[in-house]
Structure 1
């Protein structure tokens, strides 16, 4: 669109046109001093390339001050003119001047009409001289918020749910972006969603999805909390306007919940727990085909309220005094004396405050009989350089922990950690375990336990069996020499900074290894061979 109005500013005719609007310069400077258009800015979004006929213009949303127009000038200031392209009127709807600072001049344009499209250009000013106009830039205005409604046949708002807490349900979000009278809408850009808590973010956040052509988003979400739930929804349009919806429903508890060691989110499958790039904690099924998490716990739920990345999170087993039958979580940062415990009554959503795992004050000897604690037994968890969930040692579901403290291994088992009823047993005395990464694979199909270890210096993987004796006690004698029982090589810290095991992932009755590569790919193994790259972690 070419605007002749206010472009020819010399002479009496121009003075008549501009009377009451702008002071009219008496001469024009050369065309090569015309401003370089920088673009239109709205709410932090800045477009530099909407100054041609092919680029989509910026869409300006709800703001009292209006969008900001910017131009680069070689003179003392700039003059701006804005035209309404929806009405096609030749008269500008806005004119204004601004001084230049560091060769940039800008103005805010208030009072624009919802749903209308606009064009603008600028002139450079130097004293009484004015340049040729810049190229035309374009933007549109949309101040009408989009809308969203939510429904679910699995978890209807009426309360007659056909699924249980801990199971996935289908939720349908229908969005619309109403067109303002006499204009056009910008269109729905994305939907953000979350149970109870959304956090802040835009369409690039992990919990954002773009609706289909009909404005519908269909989500399969695992409902983690038993009882009343709220699915929070935000819908954003291309102008940055925000609409909100909340869907309340009731999720009944499962009368026959699955019971699988290593399962945190209650779906009957053991989970791999890893932080994502934003510090959220991901639950990825051990038999998953890719790295899509089944559930994610937000970073703000971590003990430091910022990220899970610096914490060791161990899990295998649960106390018998709570439902569902899903792993409790032990959360520890090396060097800290406090060990956090999450009583998993909410399918791993960690919706309530974390409690503490009390350090035992009692010890047992190699036979399991009560004994005085060794002199190097610490009174808190600060000496635990590593901590893994070993698995139930008595055939039940009660969790136990193996810690690496001062180069030796300790077993903590036989009671409720919430009260310190477990007892400690020193498993090694050589003090040479400090150079190894501990991995707890859990029981095999026969119920035998083991401890795996990666030699950080060589990349060798060691598998130390801990079988049951005839009397039901466990034989830890293989742990005397950490360098024994090499089963694989090549697991260097450069190739695999992180190793772990979540039990049997391929269903052959034997525990399997998983690893995270240096470029954050998740790799699973059959035992410790046959690697399978599941792709990059989020």
Structure 2
């Protein structure tokens, strides 16, 4: 057999084959090569092993053994040649052979390639001593240098006194660079990922990713949830898949005069709407923002069943002042569950732990608030609670009282202690007429009077029941005796509006307001229960 020489003519590869060769293997065809193994984090698929044309080579990032070249081949193996396009040298910088091992594919890795240089490669199929014509050229450029980033903020500087407080939104400027190697090219910044805590694995299609401006700068606005020392983590990904990062540590002081607004969960002084997204996470949406972008999200894994918030009733209206700043705590009841859960809002909607269960009172009262024997069938747990609503505080504290619908009757669970340890169960109705009603808790009005709203699921009528504060400081619940009374609006059918709620006084007129979610998942706000205005589609 004569020796086979590799040479290039005008950038086209050729092979000299033994004289008299009649049958050659199938021409080797480039198979998604070159491919980089083990550096797939965050890189678009076209950058991982694409066979780029001469004018638009694929970017290949840093790998342990160098880029991996793969070809489909009908034969026993393949021979590879790699040329440095940047230097224009005629001789290959790498040659090698790989066995097919019974598969229609052969591949190898190429060490020692230079950062920033562009390369071309092709392959020949082997069948014993026979060699095919060459495959078409593949082109790639190597970028093995990680990008860098720095972060700054005038709202929350790394040193000195911050002009803003924990719970407020701060602006953070991320400046990135993708170092250019001497005599070569860099791939450029693909995106920036950012967030509090461990960012984990993710790419440029992640919800926490942003594409920087042409100068490599991105400005992001984030609510600082924790009082004290915070760290904003930044991850920079270049077009070759290399990853760099930075951590920005700063101190967020607590607000000495925090806003107090029942219905507010994230501490900005504006009541919030809490709704699950399509992935089962719980969104905290500021009712004053004008759109449906959440200010914070409680992950699905932090729900009572650690799976999803979708089938969990969530109520909020008040806080336990013994535990934290004035922001609503959450009460949660998974549908049909024997457990009712409490989630303490320790720090500006920074719900990082897991909810705790609330015990159920064993002593009962009648509608007048006098001690009475519990009715037959009174449950020792919460599985009969078809509806829950936190109506607001019944005393000078901000710990809210709970209303439920059980066996068609309305119950008031009051006298809450530390961590919403409810002590009394007061049966407000006994005729079972409340079956089929959705409870809505609008919270107190400007005069301190409470109310309960309810939607008749059969008719779509909205009812409002006043709970007036009497001269002695107690409240009059007599309007709740007949759920059919107090019709204030119609047309709120279940088909049109599967979900209704209230965040309290959103428009600042001293009266609570209704919100609704349409069948196609759009959020609609009302002034009271009229004059609807759309906020947009929910995630």
User: Is the 2:14–2:134 contact (alpha carbons within 8 Å) kept by the matching residues of 1?
Assistant: no
Between the aligned partners of 1:114 and 1:198, the Cα distance in structure 2 is: 28
Spell out the pairing of 1:254-265 with structure 2 (5 A cutoff).
254-265=255-266
Between the aligned partners of 2:103 and 2:513, the Cα distance in structure 1 is: 62
Q: Residue deviations 1:121-154, cap 9 Å, x none? A: 3444556555444433322222211222222222
Between the aligned partners of 1:135 and 1:243, the Cα distance in structure 2 is: 34
Q: Which residue of 2 aligns with 1:22?
A: none
Secondary structure at 1:153 match in 2: coil
Tell me by how many angstroms 1:458 deviates: 4.1
Q: Residue deviations 1:480-518, cap 9 Å, x none? A: 444444433443334333222111222222222222333
Q: Residue deviations 1:39-84, cap 9 Å, x none? A: 4433446438644356x54322222133344444555655443332
Between the aligned partners of 1:284 and 1:359, the Cα distance in structure 2 is: 30
Between the aligned partners of 1:244 and 1:305, the Cα distance in structure 2 is: 31
- Superposition RMSD in Å: 3.1
Between the aligned partners of 2:459 and 2:51, the Cα distance in structure 1 is: 57
Q: Which residue of 2 aligns with 1:166?
A: 167
Spell out the pairing of 1:31-430 with structure 2 (5 A cutoff).
35=29, 37-42=31-36, 43-44=39-40, 46-47=45-46, 50-53=51-54, 56-73=56-73, 78-92=78-92, 93-99=94-100, 103-125=104-126, 129-394=130-395, 396-416=397-417, 418=419, 420-430=421-431
User: Is the 2:25–2:75 contact (alpha carbons within 8 Å) kept by the matching residues of 1?
Assistant: no
User: Is the 2:415–2:424 contact (alpha carbons within 8 Å) kept by the matching residues of 1?
Assistant: yes
Tell me by how many angstroms 1:314 deviates: 1.4
Tell me by how many angstroms 1:260 deviates: 0.4
Between the aligned partners of 1:57 and 1:395, the Cα distance in structure 2 is: 70
User: Is the 1:464–1:479 contact (alpha carbons within 8 Å) kept by the matching residues of 2?
Assistant: yes
Tell me by how many angstroms 1:286 deviates: 1.0
Spell out the pairing of 1:527-538 with structure 2 (5 A cutoff).
527-538=528-539
Between the aligned partners of 2:83 and 2:316, the Cα distance in structure 1 is: 64
Tell me by how many angstroms 1:339 deviates: 2.6
Secondary structure at 1:475 match in 2: coil
Spell out the pairing of 1:445-456 with structure 2 (5 A cutoff).
445-456=446-457
Q: What is the number of residues matched between the two proteins? A: 524
Between the aligned partners of 2:538 and 2:506, the Cα distance in structure 1 is: 18
Secondary structure at 1:418 match in 2: helix
Q: Residue deviations 1:159-191, cap 9 Å, x none? A: 422221112222222222222343222222222
Between the aligned partners of 2:101 and 2:506, the Cα distance in structure 1 is: 65
Higher mean displacement: 132-141 or 285-294: 132-141
Between the aligned partners of 1:347 and 1:233, the Cα distance in structure 2 is: 22
Gap change, CA 1:259 and 1:118, over 3 Å in 2? same
Q: Which residue of 2 aligns with 1:521?
A: 522
Tell me by how many angstroms 1:269 deviates: 0.3
Gap change, CA 1:199 and 1:83, over 3 Å in 2? same
Between the aligned partners of 1:236 and 1:128, the Cα distance in structure 2 is: 45
Which runs of no fewer than 5 residues in structure 1 stay unpaired?
16-24
Spell out the pairing of 1:449-464 with structure 2 (5 A cutoff).
449-464=450-465
User: Is the 1:69–1:107 contact (alpha carbons within 8 Å) kept by the matching residues of 2?
Assistant: yes
Q: 1:7 aligns with which of 6, 9, 13?
A: 13
Secondary structure at 1:390 match in 2: strand
Gap change, CA 1:34 and 1:460, over 3 Å in 2? farther
Gap change, CA 1:233 and 1:46, over 3 Å in 2? closer
Between the aligned partners of 1:273 and 1:434, the Cα distance in structure 2 is: 24
TM-score relative to the length of structure 2: 0.86
Gap change, CA 1:230 and 1:36, over 3 Å in 2? closer
Tell me by how many angstroms 1:205 deviates: 1.7
Tell me by how many angstroms 1:236 deviates: 1.7
User: Is the 1:391–1:400 contact (alpha carbons within 8 Å) kept by the matching residues of 2?
Assistant: yes
Tell me by how many angstroms 1:268 deviates: 0.5
Between the aligned partners of 1:133 and 1:430, the Cα distance in structure 2 is: 88
Tell me by how many angstroms 1:250 deviates: 1.7
Between the aligned partners of 1:57 and 1:500, the Cα distance in structure 2 is: 55
User: Is the 1:27–1:130 contact (alpha carbons within 8 Å) kept by the matching residues of 2?
Assistant: no
Between the aligned partners of 1:94 and 1:456, the Cα distance in structure 2 is: 75
User: Is the 1:51–1:135 contact (alpha carbons within 8 Å) kept by the matching residues of 2?
Assistant: no
Q: Which residue of 2 aligns with 1:20?
A: none
User: Is the 2:8–2:14 contact (alpha carbons within 8 Å) kept by the matching residues of 1?
Assistant: no
Tell me by how many angstroms 1:421 deviates: 4.4
Secondary structure at 2:392 match in 1: coil
Tell me by how many angstroms 1:310 deviates: 3.8
Secondary structure at 1:502 match in 2: strand
Between the aligned partners of 1:117 and 1:161, the Cα distance in structure 2 is: 47
Between the aligned partners of 1:41 and 1:277, the Cα distance in structure 2 is: 35
User: Is the 2:408–2:433 contact (alpha carbons within 8 Å) kept by the matching residues of 1?
Assistant: yes
Q: Residue deviations 1:267-315, cap 9 Å, x none? A: 1101111233344332211122111222233444434445433433211
Tell me by how many angstroms 1:417 deviates: 5.5
Secondary structure at 2:480 match in 1: helix
Tell me by how many angstroms 1:369 deviates: 2.8
Tell me by how many angstroms 1:396 deviates: 4.3
Secondary structure at 2:382 match in 1: coil
Between the aligned partners of 2:507 and 2:377, the Cα distance in structure 1 is: 41
User: Is the 2:442–2:503 contact (alpha carbons within 8 Å) kept by the matching residues of 1?
Assistant: yes
Gap change, CA 1:77 and 1:254, over 3 Å in 2? same
Higher mean displacement: 367-376 or 95-104: 95-104
User: Is the 2:149–2:174 contact (alpha carbons within 8 Å) kept by the matching residues of 1?
Assistant: yes
